[in-house]
A = this chain, B = another copy of it.
């Protein structure tokens, strides 16, 4: 089928290729003319036959403006799909705004990173059944070949919600491996730490795609000597903890993983300075000065 695709960066560009390889007609728009198929959103709308479907794959901070731009050029009966990293709570207001113009809305959480073009993307979809039905050929082309990788998770917002939780879990999984890595490197007994991780890739309870990637990283740099521990976070982890707090759900593991990223970005910890100050005050403990 025909699809408009707005945002042709690392993710969007790969998705266009995967969709075209599956026989779909993709007309892309990007601010960068070097990768864009059209000169403007208006031209994009013109080239698509109604009823149109336009998939957004833009950084979250540009999503709302892009939706506003599309409202100018789309028609009743069209559908907008947001595949970017929007916060789930933005989806319903956005859907209602589009609905006032007769335009449908679907939110899609997309997982898979740079590997998705080859392996397919994990897709978590929120929206009305009828809208989801119309897009199924596109979802089928983007998802992996097997029986998994796609879910219609619920009404508008549910797709990004499921993706948010997916990323929260991802934080926890990564940190569990990371802690195991640190303990193994601290041990006097285990002399072949990369070999241990490699061995775990089959036959063990902890085998996973993330473990495969960690083994790959250790193949390239067995002591991770070239990397800094300084680690960014990209929003979904924080939203997951916010939701935990709002709903009264205890997420000790995921929150600890998020907080460890915060710590990784500190040169020194104000909290630990306060602990040092207290130890010096009550115990006369020698503490380290700056």
Q: Which residues of A contact B (CB under 8 A)?
A: 10, 88, 111-116, 119-124, 126, 143-144, 146-155, 157-158, 161-162, 165-187, 189-192, 195-196, 198-211, 213-214, 216-218, 221, 224-232, 238, 240-265, 268-285, 287-290
Contacts and interface: CB of A to CB of B under 8 A. Distances in A.
Contacts of A184: 161-162, 165
Contacts of A115: 282
Contacts of A269: 182, 229, 260, 263-264
Given A148-B202, A182-B271, A224-B274, A238 B245 contact: yes
Nearest to A187: B161
Contacts of A172: 172-173, 175-177, 179-180, 253
Given A113-B283, A200-B122, A251-B179, A258 B245 contact: yes
Given A148-B200, A166-B205, A189-B161, A259 B263 contact: no
A226 B290 contact: yes
A273 B204 contact: no
Given A213-B281, A217-B280, A273-B228, A199 B256 contact: no
B207 A183 contact: no
Nearest to A283: B113
B243 A250 contact: no
Nearest to A217: B277
A155 B9 CA distance: 43
Given A175-B253, A272-B261, A283-B113, A242 B245 contact: yes
Given A192-B154, A227-B288, A282-B213, A187 B247 contact: yes
B227 A273 contact: yes
